[in-house]
Amino acid sequence: MPESFVIFMDYGGQIVINEKIQNVLNAQINKEFYSAYLYLAMSAYFDEIGLCGFSHWTKVQAQEEVDHGMILFDFIIERNGKVELSPISAPDVTLGTPLEIFERIYEHEKYVTSSINCVASMSDEECDLASRNFIDWYIAEQVEEERNVYEVILNLKMFGDDKSALYLLDKDLKSRVFKAHSYN
């Protein structure tokens, strides 16, 4: 019997989460909360420079990231696993123009996508189908997130130095509404 199957059971015969998957899910919780910090730092900066719509958009994104972390948290508990919270690093905030910041967001989301993909492949390798099924939601969510960020980048590139276009985009980003997701 492969080792990964043995650790599905605890001493009471209860089904528990695969330990390797538990570790990567715990690491993913940390990445989601770090993402929330990063977006909050950007939100504060946008507010400082008077781009209230950009500030609102990144603040809503921070709420979404907390949500993503909490869904992972609830899943580990649901699978009788152990949540392990590690320190959240201060965000490395090298701020610049809205375009530079959104390009940075895009790179960050691509990094998160690769991390989610690793959780999916590890779940396959470990035959942990419950986790594999669970992580599908994140895979779809990353496609949407990357696209949303990319659209803002396209707009910013198209507008160039046009301040009135930036003003209109700022107004548009202000309309973003936070939608809570949940596990279960």
Task: By CB under 6 A, name the one of 103, 126, 128, 145 that touches ligand OFO.
Answer: 145
| Interacting residues with ligand OFO between 17 and 76 (CB under 6 A) | 32, 35, 65, 68
Residue 152 engages ligand OFO in binding (rule: CB under 6 A) = no
Residue 134 engages ligand OFO in binding (rule: CB under 6 A) = no
Residue 112 engages ligand OFO in binding (rule: CB under 6 A) = yes
* Closest by Cα among 123, 118, 134, 119 to 78: 134
Nearer to ligand OFO, 67 or 128 (CB): 67
CB contact at 8 A, 112 and 118: no
Whole-angstrom distance, CA of residue 162 vs CA of residue 158: 9
SS3 for 15?
A: strand
Q: Among the candidate windows 6-14, 17-25, 137-145, 155-163, which touches ligand OFO by CB under 6 A?
A: 137-145
* Closest by Cα among 53, 10, 58 to 172: 53
Nearer to ligand OFO, 127 or 180 (CB): 180
Nearer to ligand OFO, 65 or 128 (CB): 65
CB contact at 8 A, 75 and 183: yes
Whole-angstrom distance, CA of residue 63 vs CA of residue 36: 7
Task: By CB under 6 A, name the one of 34, 46, 75, 138 that touches ligand OFO.
Answer: 138
CB contact at 8 A, 39 and 62: yes
Nearer to ligand OFO, 66 or 99 (CB): 66
SS3 for 134?
A: helix
- Binding-site ranges for ligand OFO (CB under 6 A): 32, 35, 65, 68, 109, 112, 138, 141, 145
